[in-house]
Structure 1
Amino acid sequence: MQEDWQAVKVRVKSKICIIRMIPNYPMGAFAEWVTAQNLEIAPLVDMLDIIQLDLDADEAALRHTKNKTPSQLRLHALYGYWCLYCSQIRAYYKAILRDPHCKRRLSFLL
């Protein structure tokens, strides 16, 4: 990776934390971006693991907030989706890391 690790992490996280709440993350656009950025899969998976931990911790903190305002409820819902999106992306790239030849079989996710 040409940029420093933290800067890339911020960019990856910004790709995950989209405002639209949809059941399945738009994996195709993310995969194209990863390819265009020449990101290596192994460091990306490590980064996604850390992002997942961050998102899970933030979602848990919001879940334990008492007397939520409507904006906090929306933010909590967003964090729930972001956790889901990150887990979907992680599963895709972990499968590719385990078996690079499975990328073709997983193309239906894109």
Structure 2
Amino acid sequence: MNKSFLVVGAMALFGWAACSKSSSTPDPITPTTETLELTQPSYFPPLVYDLKSNPLTYDGFQLGRSLFYDGLLSRNGTIACGTCHQQAVAFTHHGHDLSHGIDDKIGM
């Protein structure tokens, strides 16, 4: 009986501690406005996208990189864009005309 009371009491204490409000509120994350300059090779066609309306920022670049390599965004949560579009081969799926997607479906 004493062990049961002790276990239930400990669980109640831990539950109360886990659910109690913290006295300090964490500071919200403030995105930086540090912009990046796009250097475009002379042999590239001109940009169509107007970067003035949505400038490149360091935080935006890091977010894009994280999303590109995150497999959780795929239909079944296993394949990231970077799985097939490899940086070492100019973001192509080297040796394939089309990428092999989920369930090994070509181009999906």
Q: TM-score, normalised by structure 2?
A: 0.23
Q: Which fold has the larger relative contact order, with Cα–Cα distance below 8 Å and residues 6 or more apart in sequence?
A: 1
Larger Rg: 2
Q: TM-score, normalised by structure 1?
A: 0.23
